[in-house]
Each structure stands twice: as structure tokens, then as C-alpha cells.
Amino acid sequence: MIIESSLQAEATIDREVVNAGDYYLKVVKKGQTVRILDLEGNQAADTLFYNANNVSERYSATDTIREQGNVYLTAGSVLMSNECKPMLKIVADTCGRHDTVGGACATESNTVRYALEKKCMHACRDSWLLAIAENEALGLSKKDITHNINFFMNVPVTSDGKLSFADGISGAGKYVELEALMDVVVLISNCPQLNNPCNAYNPTPIEILIWN
């Protein structure tokens, strides 16, 4: 569902460009709005959310899919935690569909999906692990890296229940905007993947904007 935002970029309290292969980690307070902007198009923003006051509570794809009765995320989707509490709501979306089933790239999956020699290529899971290692105070560890959201990524579920990684449907300037329903840690890996048509084999920067 396409819903445009009425928020003005000049009124942000924080904005940051994140290059492909880098991570973004910030706390967004309850009531604040965060926008993920696909600057050049067809990028994938692999995202995890945690309750900032208790990081053992985190985004849950299974609870979210069950509660909304839809495998895709878009405007109106409420992102649920593993304690089945609402964490964030997608309040604007100019892309129209986001994946939460396909998972993030890892060096291991690169070898299975693409080729053995892809093992050493940088992957989203590496960026998340680096983020939690460089931000020890948050109390996150490897076991907290679980199923995620791939904003802007097009992973259609086929009629026989399989996943197909398809060409991206996002474009330059498209965005998704979420209102925090609790204080959340936002952890994004701006995907460095070079082997997947979802990003046209060309990882590009994203920008993250926050409003009060």
C-alpha cells in the first residue's frame, strides 16, 4: 500500500547516510518516526529492532506475519515483538512491499546460494556482528541476531510456497517510515550483497532520518 509522508526533511532531528556494507545503530524513542530512504534505488536495508529497555525483547517475523495475516510488510503493518507486543508501525511507504521471510545474507548462505568462493565476501550478518561488538553497552550478543526485515527487498512467495529473489521494485527516492510504539534500538545492515538481483548487483547508500 502506497502512503506518502507529510514529514519535511528540514524538520528532522537526525539524519545519516549509510554506505552499502556499513551498519546503522541508534535508539529511536517511543513516538518518534524513523524513515529509511533508498537513495539510488533497489537497495536492501536488512533491519533488526530491539526493545531499548530490554534487548531480549526483539522484532519477531513470525508474530508479525501471524498477527497481520500477510507475509509482506507495507504501510499499516504493525511490527510485533517476540513477546507479541507492538514495537513499530509502518506509517508511510512509497515502495509498497518489504520482505521479512528471506533472511539476511551471511557468508554461509553466500556459499550455498552462489558459489564456494563467495565465502569471504562481506555479508549483512558480519555487519550486525561488528555493530554489537562495537556497542557492547547495549548488551546484545550473537544469539540476539535473528530473523529480520529486508526493507525494499522483493522476495515473492510463489504459489507452491517457495521464495523467489526477484528484481527490486524500489527506486531512487523511495522510502518507508515507521513510528516507534516503544523505545527501540534500530540496527540496520545496508546490504553489501553483490550476487543478488534484488539490488541489481549494485549495493548503494541509504539515508536514515528521525523526527520527534
Beta bridge partners of 151: 45
Question: x-or-dash pattern for Zn ion, window 119-138, by CB under 5 A?
Answer: -----x--------------
CB 208, min distance to Zn ion, A? 17
Q: Select 170 or 193, whichever has its Cβ closest to Zn ion.
A: 193
Q: What secondary structure does DSSP assign to 13-32, as a single string?
A: SEEEEE-TT-EEEEEE-TT-
**Cβ proximity to Zn ion, 47 vs 193, nearer residue:** 193
Residue from the set 80, 105, 145, 209 that interacts with Zn ion by CB under 5 A: 105
> In 3D, which of 211, 209, 86, 72 has the Cα closest to residue 152?
72
Q: With binding defined as CB under 5 A, does residue 193 bind Zn ion?
A: yes
Strand pairing category for 149-151 and 184-190: unpaired
Cell representation of residue 26: 541508534
Report the chain's terminal Cα–Cα distance, integer Å: 24
Q: Which stretch binds Zn ion (CB under 5 A): 33-41, 63-71, 168-176, 192-200?
A: 192-200
Q: Which residues bind Zn ion (CB under 5 A)?
A: 105, 124, 191, 193
